[in-house]
Amino acid sequence: MSYLSDASLVMIPSGYKDGKLYSVKPTNGNGDFTFSRGSNLAATRVNSEGLIEKGRENLLLQSNTFDTTWTTSNASVTGGQSGYDGSNDAWKIESTNTGQSRLTQTISISGVTTVSFYAKEGTANYIILYIISSGDPRVWFNLSTGVVETTASNIDATIEDVGSGWYRCSMTLERVSSTLWVFIGNTDNNFNSAIGDNIYIQDAQLEVGLVATEYIETTTTTAQAGILEDMPRLDYSGGSCPALLLEPQRSNLNNQSEYFATGYFFTNGSITTNNATSPEGVNNASSFIENTATGTHQMRKTQSVTSGNDYTFSFYAKSNGRDYVNFWEDVITGNKAYFNLSNGTATNSGFTSVGIESAGNGWYRCFGTKSSFSGSSFGLRIHASQGANFDSYIGDGESGFHLYGLQLEQGSYPTSYIPTYGSSVTRSAEDMLTSSTALNGGQTGSIFVDFERLAIDTSWAGAMTQIVTSGGSEEIRLHFDAPTPQVRWRDANNSYVDIGGAISTTINARTKTILTSDGTTIKVFANGSKVGSDYTIVNPLDFDRIVNLQRGSLKINSEIYFPTALSDAECIALTTL
């Protein structure tokens, strides 16, 4: 048989937008899945280039319309100027009085943020970015030489040559603030300009994080890009073909997952921010460098937790002269993990489990879980090391490791990265639902699911990942067992009686299963074999729609619905791995 032609619903993760996952068939939209996750940009995925992709937002309003919500002081703005991108969308800002001439927007920020402008010299050659806040973060950018000059109270400042005399100028800071000022300048460390002094500007952006990312245009509201609130995550971490990543609600309890210069303590070493290319593919990874002392070379902080729960730590690390990174939970004695960044192996000493996974380009995600943690504080302590359980040594003053994405979450396994920049962030669980008109509404049909179970969550059992519904009431469910790695189809209208039997699964490996009904009898197949005995239907089953209520952690490679009962041979062929 031709499975594509005979199926009435085919979902293979490919097309998507915020709030929608498109099915390959039908093509009229009746089989598309509505998708929801939450109200923030906490979710990430691995994209087709193998890089971590985040949600991004430009928090400035009218980001390239400087004669609207922006205000001027001793300055004028004129649009229609030749821009860095070949357009006429740039603006000239010109001093109309002697003294301080500036452009202003009221903002509301907290935590780690980055402000950026494209700028070009005119008769003046400095643009000065200034944030009214504690310490008044500020930077002088020389648009003649392409050099960052005087800076104060900021994390980082960069200037990037983008051609034709244009530069992208950015300042990163960690402050609570309400006002952004942009000055015209003629000399370093001086705010004054003369009448007629001017520079050109274009495409302003303010965003959370340590670096300026690709520009996002705004008008009267902020604008977003990347992984949005309700966008399905088509994840490529398994290879060249994407799978739909579905995860339960999780929080990164660590309030600074990328900026380690505040809130962390250092022994015999120091941290440099924005010093290496991270698994995102941008320069926002930090570098820990040991000194020449004898002893442990480490960074640490303590996170409040609730005693009795499972907790999982994770971080991305890359060798920078030291091939070992050791992790200590330094509140409860004896919990240690040793990660070899050369061959990608992990050694456990005290944790319930530890693991390490390649993230590409020499990066590894290192993680570990402590079940039923007995303390109220969880110590996050990371050592540079010369080997497993080799924590004290004489440093050379130049070796260490690169670090990115430190996460602590309540749960028995690591989920995808949740970025934080000053406060804990929660990523909500994901749900999806098909339109009922995609199915036939009758009592015959077959439903196929190709998925990978990513972990066993011991905090729940019997949770549903897929529901076949009839007239809005739940009928047949595909359950995940816990703590055993099994799934099973169940009749939810008949006291959750098992249909067929338990289907054995392997974590991080594909499972293919199909349930087929001729209106009287249901059969189940998985991984090329029939599972258990035929099941006589107790209550009528109408195939109206499919609902995925996400409670576990998995990837869906495809879902296919057939309006007829497939033969045993067809079910075996379709589910064979």
* Interstrand relation of 75-81 and 166-174 (parallel, antiparallel or unpaired): unpaired
- pLDDT the model gives residue 332: 75
Q: How far is Cα 355 from Cα 539, in angstroms, rounded to an integer?
A: 46
Inter-residue contact 564 to 445 (CB < 8 Å)? yes
**Which residues make beta-bridge pairs with 112?**
174
Strand order in the sheet with 497-504: 16-17, 20-21, 33-36, 431-434, 545-549, 463-470, 473-480, 486-491, 497-504
- pLDDT the model gives residue 126: 98
Give average pLDDT by consecutive 10-residue segment, the chain, 577 residues.
79 93 91 90 97 98 97 98 98 97 95 98 98 94 98 97 98 94 97 97 98 98 97 91 92 98 96 98 98 96 95 98 94 88 96 96 97 94 90 94 98 96 94 78 89 78 61 75 82 84 91 94 96 89 77 86 94 95
Supply 420's token pair.
């934080």
- pLDDT the model gives residue 413: 93
How much is the pTM?
0.95
Q: Is the peptide bond before 13 cis (omega within 30 degrees of 0)?
A: no
- Residue indicated by tokens 């998507």: 16
- pLDDT the model gives residue 540: 77
**Could you tell me which of 441, 447, 408, 403 has the C-alpha nearest to residue 424?**
408
* Interstrand relation of 463-470 and 473-480 (parallel, antiparallel or unpaired): antiparallel
Inter-residue contact 554 to 415 (CB < 8 Å)? no
- For each of the domains in the chain, give its residue range(s) and CATH number, in order of start: 3-38+430-575 (2.60.120.200), 71-224 (2.60.120.260), 250-427 (2.60.120.260)
- pLDDT the model gives residue 324: 96
Q: How far is Cα 482 from Cα 505, in angstroms, rounded to an integer?
A: 12
- 109 C-beta neighbours (distance < 10 Å), count: 21
Inter-residue contact 114 to 211 (CB < 8 Å)? yes
Q: Is the dihedral of CA 284, 288, 289, 291 positive or negative?
A: positive
Q: For residue range 161-220, what is the model confidence (pLDDT) as tens digits?
A: 999 999 999 999 999 988 999 999 999 999 999 999 999 999 999 999 999 999 999 999
- Residue indicated by tokens 């952690």: 553
- pLDDT the model gives residue 211: 98
Q: How far is CA 466 from CA 103, 180, 408, 432, 545, in A?
A: 54, 49, 29, 9, 11
**Could you tell me which of 334, 357, 347, 373 has the C-alpha nearest to residue 414?**
357
For residue 222, with 0-12 CB atoms within 10 Å meaning exposed, 13-18 middle and 19 or more buried, which class applies?
A: middle
Q: For residue range 318-367, what is the model confidence (pLDDT) as tens digits?
A: 999 999 999 999 887 779 999 999 999 999 999 999 999 999 999 999 99
- pLDDT the model gives residue 476: 84
b/e per residue 116-143 (b: at least 16 CB within 10 A): bbbbbbbebbbbbbbbbbeeebbbbbbb
- pLDDT the model gives residue 187: 96
Angle value at C-alpha 277, between 271 and 278, nearest 5 degrees:
85
Helices (H) and strands (E) in the chain, counts: 2, 51
Q: How far is Cα 427 from Cα 340, in angstroms, rounded to an integer?
A: 30
Supply 455's token pair.
């972990």
